[in-house]
Amino acid sequence: MTVQRTFSIIKPNAVKKNAIGAIYHRFESAGFSIIAAKMLHLTREQAEGFYAEHKGRPFFEGLVEFMTSGPIILQVLEGENAVQRHRDLMGATNPDNALAGTLRADYADSFTENAVHGSDSIESANREIAYFFAEDEICPR
């Protein structure tokens, strides 16, 4: 097991339903340390850039609309095997397939409005962290 960093977003629908504290509690209870955090209301440009790999897919426009519909919370989580363990905590992308007890089973409203984002690899985590955080905004314990 190695200590890793991963990038997480609490998406607009979860912020709107006042679930920030509950989700932070789940991160910390699962053994993650929150080592960077900020709230942003994404511009269209920021959202399109973040999801650039999905440009042209049928859901892209709706995803950008949703991600710019209200504030989000961004964080860097640190912990053992953080990328995969955080994906497990989130559950499947489509909440219909998310296991009971996962964040998406508890907080998603639809496939698009699925409450949380988490990096899918160490390479994605490094890119996504750098997209939103400067080095001096990350505060390891």
- Using the Cα atoms of residue 70, residue 71, residue 76 and residue 77 in order, give the sign of their dihedral: negative
Structural contact between residues 80 and 2, judged by C-beta atoms closer than 8 angstroms: yes
Among 117, 125, 132, 133, binds ligand UDP (CB under 6 A): 117
Answer yes or no: 25 catalytic.
no
3-class DSSP state of 35: strand
Hey, which residues between 15 and 54 contact ligand UDP (CB under 6 A)? none
As a three-state string, the secondary structure of 68-129 is CCCCEEEEEEEEECHHHHHHHHHCCCCHHHCCCCCHHHHHCCCCCCCCEEECCCHHHHHHHH
Q: Does 131 contact ligand UDP by CB under 6 A? A: no
How many of the chain's residues bind ligand UDP (CB under 6 A)? 8
Q: Which one of residues 35, 114, 128, 132 is an interface residue with ligand UDP (CB under 6 A)?
A: 114
| 120 is a contact residue toward ligand UDP (CB under 6 A) | yes
Q: Which stretch binds ligand UDP (CB under 6 A): 24-32, 77-85, 112-120, 130-138?
A: 112-120
Region from 19-27, 29-37, 70-78, 109-117 binding ligand UDP, contact rule CB under 6 A: 109-117
**Least Å from the CB of residue 69 to ligand UDP:** 12
Joined tokens for residue 119: 């990096």
Q: Dig out the tokens for 130 from the structure.
A: 């750098």
Q: Which residues are part of the catalytic machinery?
A: 117
